[in-house]
Amino acid sequence: MLTPGEVKKLLTYCETEEPTLTPYACLCVFGGLRPEREALNMIDDDINEDQIFVPKEIAKDGEDRWIEPLTQNFNKWIKHIKKRDGSFQKVKNLKCKFIKAKKVIGRD
């Protein structure tokens, strides 16, 4: 679990150094999605300002799941990310990028 300070460092790093990593980080931090399977495979159509739909094909328990209600902070991040071209898509070189991000916040 990350502290609020670590979350701030992580998102600041993502936004300034690896913006394609921001959606993934937000899904993990604010949405509670599992990083290795769920957050990794989410697509734009499954995410809106009211809820997140986790399809059974990627859900840990093999059942469709809806995450709602979303926190106000998470909702603001979703709106911010959705303004970008190709907002929620798979991240290329995710493992390498996330390792760098973890080092920035002091989590090796």
The answer to whether residues 65 and 59 touch, using CB atoms and an 8 Å cutoff, is yes
Instruction: Using pLDDT thresholds of 50, 70 and 90, give the confidence band for residue 18.
Output: very high
Instruction: Using pLDDT thresholds of 50, 70 and 90, give the confidence band for residue 85.
Output: confident
State the pTM of this model. Answer: 0.90
The residue assigned the tokens 């697509």 is 43
pLDDT digits (tens, 9 = 90+) for 20-60: 999 999 999 999 999 888 998 998 899 988 999 999 999 98
* Domain segments of the chain as ranges: 4-103
* Residue 54 vs residue 88, higher pLDDT: 54
